[in-house]
Amino acid sequence: MRGKQSSSNPICDGHRDEFGVGYAMQGIGYAMGPGPVLKVEDLRVSFSTRRGVGMAVNGVSFEVKKGETLGLVGESGCGKSTVALSIMKLLPRPPAKFEGGRVLFEGEDLMAMDEEEVRSYRGRHIGMIFQDPMSSLNPVYNINFQVAEPLRIHQGLRGSALVDQVVTLLRRMRIPAPENRARDYPHQFSGGMRQRVVGSIALSCEPELIIADEPTTALDATIQAQYLNLLRELQEDTGVAILLITHDFSVVAKMCHRVAVMYAGTIVETAEVETIFNNPAHPYTQALMAAVPDIAAWKGHLSPIDGSPPSIYETHRGCPFAPRCAVVQDRCREEAPPETQRAKEHGVRCWLHV
Ligand SMILES: Nc1ncnc2c1ncn2[C@@H]1O[C@H](COP(=O)(O)OP(=O)(O)OP(=O)(O)O)[C@@H](O)[C@H]1O
Ligand SMILES: [Mg+2]
């Protein structure tokens, strides 16, 4: 019973209270479906540069169910955006190369499709929200044109039906006076409004999955809270599955049902959000949690993780976290640990738990 658990972590419970809802703990309005919307299996992606061939994503597997938000977290450079962009086949090739694995969207392998087939999924079935709204919006077209485009292409809307739908979508994302503001250009909108426009575009064709890569990093705290509330409401209404990439554990606490923790191109732990906050099993997840600012009980110091993640161009035999791990054993340097299931939704890749 998730709702009965108490939390010792102030970020987890405190922020939920602050935002008014213990989202994941309360469950969600929309029933989670039995099969995953997205299933990533043993995904491997490399980059070839002058420095050599580096494995940026090295055997990543996870799934996201209908109505669920999966958080993908980990230090900078661990491969989160590479995973997100690979799913949509949006990485530049070269330098990127798909080395293996499957990305099943409702059972269909996107990796086995040609560009034209994948394009029919982008926007229509899979919406994307990236960190910098300016890079997602085209400065030379007005907002109306950009929100209307996927509706024209994927839903065949024209004329007044199209105009009405654009206004409805902008209103749903709380853009004030959308009938008039739709004629504006991106530079005439604030950063928060631009991000909400990107959200409107991502949601325009009622996709089954949204991939959001650091969607709120550029927003101030108030706009961020509003934006996340909107995403959550929309998920409750439509059951959209969300893959949410973030560095911010207050965003994780507010939004996510489950969390996958990534380190050096692999997922080292996957668990329900309460477990990640209150009972993490992998030494890396424990170290990440110790590095999260505890605002409620601020004592003036944090515990950063010593050292830095390995370069993708380095090869290592054992666990990639071994050089920084406080509880490292000889075996960790020799052999990579397999994934073990600690509980139904709790997988961990560490010799301590084999
Ligand atoms: N186009 C590229 N060419 C070469 N290397 C790349 C390219 N894109 C990413 N990389 C490398 O792949 C690794 C993973 O990068 P990625 O952007 O996926 O990390 P991330 O987890 O999203 O980091 P952040 O939290 O900073 O956004 C990094 O070592 C990065 O330098
Ligand atoms: Mg990134």
DSSP 122: B
Domains observed in the chain: 2-125+208-219+236-353 (3.40.50.300)
Residues near ligand 1 (Cβ within 6 A):
47, 49, 56, 74, 76-82, 92, 95, 312
Cα 79 to middle of ligand 2, angstroms? 7
* Closest Cα to atom 7 of ligand 1: 47
Sign of CA dihedral 138, 190, 226, 77: positive
Please give the Cα distance from 116 to 78 (Å, whole number): 30
Which of 186-200, 279-293, 336-350 is most confident? 336-350
Residue holding tokens 């949601």?
Answer: 203
User: How much of the chain exceeds pLDDT 70, in percent?
Assistant: 88
Ligand 1, atom nearest to 95 Cα: 3
Q: What is the DSSP letter of 256?
A: -
Cα 177–chain centre separation: 31
Residue 222 neighbours by CB under 8 Å, 6+ apart? none
Q: Write the CA distances from 298 to 8, 179, 247, 287, integer angstroms.
A: 15, 46, 20, 17
Distance (angstroms) between ligand 2 centre and the Cα of 75 equals 9
What's the mean pLDDT in 260-270? 97
pTM of the model: 0.87
Parallel/antiparallel/unpaired status of strands 36-49 and 96-105: antiparallel
Compute, in angstroms, the gap from residue 270 CA to the centroid of ligand 1: 21
Ligand with the closest atom to the CA of 310: 1
Q: Residue 294: what pLDDT?
A: 63
Q: What residues are neighbours of ligand 2 (ion), with CB under 5 Å? A: 81
Q: Tokens at residue 184, please?
A: 């504006």
Predicted confidence band at 61 (pLDDT cuts at 50, 70, 90)?
A: very high
Q: What is the pLDDT of residue 3?
A: 34
Nearest C-alpha to atom 9 of ligand 1 is from which residue?
Answer: 82
Q: Quote the ligand 1 centre to 56 CA distance (angstroms).
A: 7
